[in-house]
């Protein structure tokens, strides 16, 4: 299944992308695609629906983030060796874990807002996943059975806030619109191998990032198991898994986002995103 939320910001409805490409309204079946909706029994109920009987949504629509306010938005840093190199940091011996504030989440095509005081705004195309079964100290062998589905994340980062001061990376990762997600969550049964996905990001029509999840230092199963040794992962939690090389910070000279820039990004099987960068008021 491809699960999505559509409509104006703050008034999104739950939806499902049918195999024929049509958008179907799930509003009569489920209140919203919130954290509770990604619990495996709920997904099983949605999977059993006769999609042809669901109302079809006509015309252009805005896609919102495909999950409404997850309980936790966890991120993994430096998960591609070549990105660690371009960042001037050593390849980590274990996953680098930080958080993004759930309030930073936005739709896949919503504007990215440069906040006041920002000087080094950067992009990062990433594979993210949603937890579908409670995970506490699970093995790598059973880890993927706890994943509900996969989606695209643009891990927008304010580098000065992230790394030039003291404290944790969350400082530069959490402003409003710093977490575009979607356009949909593709359930895990449709992604047989999360380590065989290609990632791209274009800035103003020029390819800046090209990568594959094959080259992750810590694959999805490892991340689920590792995180679950430290904390309980609950249905609806979102984890974004790191970015391949090609970010602005790594360019010589560095290149950062400015008003009017356009980012277009995609991951094979998971759709595309497009964001215009705008100045904050």
Q: For position 212, which CATH number holds?
A: 3.90.850.10
Residue 31 domain-assigned (yes or no): no
Structural domain count, the chain = 1
Residue 265 domain-assigned (yes or no): yes
Residue 6 domain-assigned (yes or no): no
What is the dihedral sign for C-alpha 220, 100, 261, 248? Answer: negative
Residue 213 domain-assigned (yes or no): yes
Residue 108 domain-assigned (yes or no): yes
Residue 252 is part of which domain span?
67-279
Could you read off the pLDDT tens digit of each residue along the chain, which spans 281 residues? 999 999 999 999 999 999 999 999 999 999 999 999 999 999 999 999 999 999 999 989 999 999 999 999 999 999 998 888 887 888 899 999 999 999 999 999 999 999 999 999 999 999 999 999 999 999 999 999 999 999 999 999 999 999 998 889 999 999 999 999 999 999 999 999 999 999 999 999 999 999 999 999 999 999 999 999 999 999 999 999 999 999 999 999 999 999 999 999 999 999 999 999 999 97
Residue 142 domain-assigned (yes or no): yes
Residue 182 domain-assigned (yes or no): yes
Residue 201 domain-assigned (yes or no): yes
Q: Can you give the C-alpha Rg of the chain in angstroms?
A: 18
């Amino acid at each position: 299944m491809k699960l999505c939320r559509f409509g104006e910001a703050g008034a999104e409805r739950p939806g499902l992308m049918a195999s024929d490409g049509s958008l179907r309204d799930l509003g009569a079946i489920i209140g919203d695609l919130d954290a509770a909706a990604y619990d495996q029994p709920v997904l099983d109920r949605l999977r059993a629906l006769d999609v042809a009987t669901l109302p079809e949504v006509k015309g252009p629509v805005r896609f919102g983030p495909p999950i409404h306010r997850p309980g936790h938005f966890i991120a993994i840093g430096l998960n591609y060796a070549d990105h660690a190199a371009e960042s001037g940091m050593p390849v980590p011996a274990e996953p680098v874990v930080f958080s993004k504030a759930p309030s930073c989440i936005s739709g896949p095509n919503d504007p990215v807002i440069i906040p006041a005081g920002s000087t080094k705004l950067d992009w990062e195309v990433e594979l993210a996943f949603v937890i579908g079964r409670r995970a506490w100290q699970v093995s790598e062998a059973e880890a993927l059975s706890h994943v509900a589905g996969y989606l695209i994340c643009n891990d927008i980062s304010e580098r000065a806030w992230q790394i030039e001061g003291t404290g944790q990376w969350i400082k530069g990762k959490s402003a409003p619109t710093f977490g575009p997600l979607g356009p949909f969550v593709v359930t895990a049964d449709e992604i047989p191998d999360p380590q065989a996905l290609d990632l791209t990001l274009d800035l103003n029509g020029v390819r800046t990032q090209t990568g594959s999840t094959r080259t992750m230092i810590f694959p999805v199963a490892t991340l689920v198991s590792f995180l679950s040794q430290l904390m309980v992962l609950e249905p609806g939690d979102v984890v974004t898994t790191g970015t391949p090389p090609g970010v602005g910070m790594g360019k010589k000279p560095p290149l950062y986002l400015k008003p009017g820039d356009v980012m277009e990004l995609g991951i094979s099987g998971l759709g595309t995103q497009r964001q215009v960068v705008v100045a904050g008021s």
